Structure formats: structure tokens, C-alpha cells
Amino acid sequence: MGQKVKSSHHFQFRTKADIQQAVLDTLEPLKNHFTSGNSGLQLGSTAAMHNEALALMEAFSRPLWGLIPHAGGGGESDLWPIYLKGIINGTNPEHEEYWGEFVTQDQRMVEQAVFGLGLALAPHKLWDPLSELEKQQLFRWLNQINLVDHSNPNNWLMFTVLVNVGFKKVGMPYNQAIMDEYLEAIDTYYLGDGWYSDGKTDQRDYYVPFGMHYYTLIYAKLMEHDDPERAKVYRERAKTFAEQFIYWFAEDGSCLPFGRSQTYRFAQVSFWCALVFAGVEPFSLGVMKGIIMRHFRWWFAKPIFTSDGLLSIGYAYPNLIMGESYNAPGSPYWGYKAFILLDLPDDHPFWTAEEEPLPPLRPLSAQPHARMILCRPDDEGHVVALASGQMANFELAHNAAKYSKFAYSTRFGFSVPKGYYGLAQGAYDSTLALCENDEHYRVRRYCEEYVIDEQYVYSRWLPWRDVEVRTWLIPAGMWHVRIHRILSSRYLTAAEGGFAVGRMTDYTLREADAVEAAPGRIAAMMPSGISGVVNVQGYTNAVMIYPEANTNLLKPRTMIPTLTVQMQPGEHLLISSIFGASNNEENQRHYGLPPVVEKTPEGRIIVSDAETKTVYFSLEN
């Protein structure tokens, strides 16, 4: 019988044995949920865009991302007999739980990739125990990926490559021509400076590290002798990317919440795990071990498992609101891609390396390919991204919230709307929300223009065809300044939201006492952090918005300090200063010293530090 996941303190994440045990303990509850033929896992009653049969198969497949490297690195699990029975039945056309045929792009292609990895890393578990007939049936079912009309022109191409690598490793027929074709296509997605796009799309999100780089690093390792030139290129690109991606991680192990597929959680660190697996060291093993282990500890201290011990859809807690249309109950187990490093032998130097902190990093890292500036505004490791100009090229739920807010934060996360009627349902943190009727708000979505400079982020966006907003985001120490030039033909209400901060959880504290309000400014001095906004020009009110529950990725109950103004048709200049930090006396002092924003007689806008007078930004009128 299965059992619940042990308490978070059980998972120390310091040794290989710790990680091996975490995989075993977190997969133990699955035993209660296999279908009668073992080829599916029924992990919940919610649905995704694909049908229930595919959801069962997805849930069966994704835990293998942890179980396969666990076995490849010498681990044993009593789940293997169950999985073998499921594989035998799932690939048998005569069985009622057969995984089925497909002739075009299909969710099964996504899940086939891990079987290719299994043939390469753990044939003693996945292949050798099968009879000749069972091997042929598995081969035939997997080989469908070589016969489809076309594959998704993005990271999906690597699923076909991994299946063929697996065929090659166990001596079965493989399609070298399609591998070459798809790997050449992958090269056309390379943007330079370590960055890929995920196909011909506009988004630059986690599918770069846990998609494009992750799969090409696995290829680099598995095919380093068969295809040394490509392996070398993939390693070099990943090394270059790592020098920028490290800025997305905070010292406490958290990583920047941004973009789609956040429910894959610790897949955020799978890139670093794949680097170690492939023998790439852009930083010392100690630095990479610190990133990986702190990340695991950060996640496993969160309530991400259900009471039955299953991974939930959500981020820092179970939350369907922020999920994607393709997130079925088993989808979160894609996070187990991070366990690829368990394939490393016991004597690999990674396991004996001492964890090191992050290396010295610049306060600001302008990353034009990501279309953001990564800011490290304090000594506590808080990471803030000032973002502009990208959106997913297909219509995701809460697309604008996931890609087009002004700021994303490891401390405060970001919020998604629960509805679009009023500010509480919209949960408009870190954005400018505009409406005509005080009911339905519009925010920045697609940008007509954008600039990523070393000192600012600029965008021009059109919430209506006759309303133009030009926005500058300026990092200023522990603050950032937002400047909006608005040209409007409409009567509008504007609401400028700061960071969403977690509300009180202790009944002995009065929440009202933690709200600090003064003319033109308001802040929440909460145990989970300080979030404040200050009017510099253009706003008339400072209010605290209490959004609907479960709108924020990190905290289920939040509050958002917000500036508002009613605007007539015409041209308007709105300027605000936004603060976000942990709550201590020194940071409370910093909140009392917002940046100085001056307008010169010549019409320039200058942003400078209140204490040192350091100029951060100068805008010509």
C-alpha cells in the first residue's frame, strides 16, 4: 500500500542518498492509483484539453523522469514491476489499456521522450526484462513518432530525437535522417548568446532552460562519441546561457516565477542538473550543487503535495487558477526532469563537492533576449525582473499576467486574475490597469515597441486602438520607478499596482496596524515583506486592494498597494516609485527614502538616489 509523503524536514537534499530517497518517498503514493492494467495513473478528477485516456498515460509516464535516472545511477525501486506491466499492456494493441495509434502531433509524443531516455539510461529495467514480442510492441508503439505527418516545430522535435537515441542505444532500427533534420531545425531556433526561442515564437521563458537546453544537453552526453561536433556546440551554448540564467536564482533557492507552465515547479533547476549530467561546468561544482540543493529544499518545504501525497497543480500551494489548459493531474511530475543528476555514479565529484553560495553577481543584468533586466536590489538575494515586450504566441489563460507585467519577483511572485470585474478580481499587481467604466480593466499585453537598456526597460503598448501608453521602468536600488506617457481619446481610470504581499496568518496581529498610509503613498508592512507605492506625479489616491484568494502564485491571501487616478481624454504623465523587500528595520528605513524624480526646466526627467544622489536614469522629453 502507498503512504503519504513524509514531512518536508525529512528531505535534506544534501547527498545522493537524500535525493534517491526523496524520489522513492514521493513516488510511493502512486501505488494506490494505477489502473487495473497498470498502464495509467488516476491522480485526480480535473481535466486538461486532451482526453482522459491521454491524461492517464501522461500521469504514468512523467514519474519515469525520476525513476529512470534513479535506476541508471544504481537505485532500486519496487515500482519497476508495476511499471513493466504497465508498459507491456500499454504497448500491446490487443490490450484494453493500449496507449493507441496517432498520425499527427499528439500528447503521446511528449510522453514518449522519457521512454527514449529509459532505453538509453536504464535498459536493464525498461528493456532487457521484456520478451522479444514485448520489445517489438514497445518499439512499434514508440516508432510512431517517426511516422507522424509533422511534429510541433519547437522543443517537441527533441522528443523524436530522444526516442531515436534510445533505439540506437538498444540496437533497434533508428531514423538518422529525421534526427539530422530535426537537430538542424533546432539550430534555426538559436538566437545567440546562449538563448534559443522555443520554435518561431516570441516568448523567452523556462522552455529555453528546461526544454531546449535540457534535451540538447542530454543529447550531448548520450551522443558525445557518435556526434561530437553537435555535442560540443550544445555544451558551449549551455555554458553561455548559464552565465545569464544564474541571475534568475535567489540565494534562498527560489527562482523567478515567470511565464507559463509554473506547475512544473522544480523543473526550474533541471537545466543545472542537466549541466552536471553532461559534464558542463560554467561554475564550480560547489556553486552548481548549491543552486540545485537549495532549490530542492526551497520547494520541498512548500505545501505542494496533496493530503494523499500527490503533487498538486499549482505553484507554492495547490492552485488550479494559474494552471494551463494542458495541465492534467499528472502534469506536475514533469518537474522530475530535475532528477536526471541521479544517473551520476556514486563516486562522481558532484556528490562530494561542498555546497557554495552564489558567486558575486552584478546588481543589474540586462538580458535582451529575455527582454528584461534582472535586478538584485539587496543583500538578501531578492530577485526582481523588470520586463517588457514579450507574450506567448498562442492564447494561454492569463497570458498578460504571465508574460507582460512590469515586474516579477522571487519574494512576491505574481498574481493572475480570478475575474475581470474590478480590481479585487483582477489582482493587478505589478502592472498598470486601465478601464472606462470602473469594471473591466485592460493591462499591457502585446507591445508595439520595446527597448532593453542597461538602465531601463521601455515599451509602447495600445490597450485600445485610440489609447497609447509609453512606459519606462527604471531600477533604482531597492525601488523601481515607473513612468507612463499616456495619450488617450477616452475617459479612463488608471490603477498602478505594486507587489502583492502575503496577508496576516496570526490572529494575534492586527492587519490594519501593518498598513502605513500617508497622502500619495501606501505600504503593507507584513511579516512576509514590505510592499509600497509612492505617487510622484499624476495619481490622486493611494489605496490597498485585497484581491480574491488564490490569485497569487506564492501566497493564497494577498494585498496590493495601489495608486489610482481618473483621467480625461488627452495626454497624461504618470510617475510612481515601487518598493518591495523583506520586513526589517533597515528596509523600513529604505522605504522612507524613495528615489528622487525631478523634471528639469528643459523637460528632462532624472531619477536619482535619495541619499547618494546617484543618477539612475535621464529621460529627454
DSSP letters for 142-169: HHGGGTSS---SSTTHHHHHHHHHHHHH
pLDDT tens-digit series, residues 462-508: 999 999 999 999 999 999 999 999 999 999 999 999 999 999 887 77
Q: Which of 227-236, 388-397, 465-474 has the lowest mean pLDDT?
A: 388-397
Give the Cα separation of 376 and 547 in Å (integer).
Answer: 27
pLDDT(7) > 60: no
CB-based contacts of 581, cutoff 8 Å, min separation 6:
377, 378, 380, 382, 411, 478, 529, 530, 587, 590, 591
- Distance between first and last Cα of the chain: 70
Confidence of residue 4 (pLDDT cuts 50, 70, 90): low
Identify each DSSP E strand in 527-569 by its residue range. Answer: 529-537, 541-545, 558-567
HSE toward the beta carbon, residue 266, CA cutoff 13 A: 27
pLDDT(540) > 70: yes
pLDDT(3) > 90: no
Q: What is the pLDDT of residue 608?
A: 93
pLDDT(369) > 60: yes
Confidence of residue 379 (pLDDT cuts 50, 70, 90): confident
Could you tell me which of 511, 513, 524 has the C-alpha nearest to residue 588?
A: 524
Q: What is the pLDDT of residue 245?
A: 98
Coil vs helix vs strand at 216: helix
pLDDT tens-digit series, residues 89-119: 999 999 999 999 998 889 999 999 999 999 9
Give the Cα separation of 555 and 549 in Å (integer).
Answer: 9
Q: What is the pLDDT of residue 438?
A: 75
Q: What mean pLDDT do residues 43-63 have? A: 96
Q: Are 619 and 472 in contact (CB under 8 A)?
A: yes
Confidence of residue 1 (pLDDT cuts 50, 70, 90): very low
One-letter amino acid for residue 302 of the chain: K
How would you class 602 by CB atoms within 10 Å of its CB: exposed for 0-12, middle for 13-18, buried for 19 or more?
exposed
pTM (two decimals): 0.96
Q: Are 222 and 230 in contact (CB under 8 A)?
A: no
> For residues 438 and 217, which has the higher predicted lDDT (pLDDT)?
217
Measured CA distances, 141 to 88, 121, 135, 519 (Å): 11, 19, 10, 67
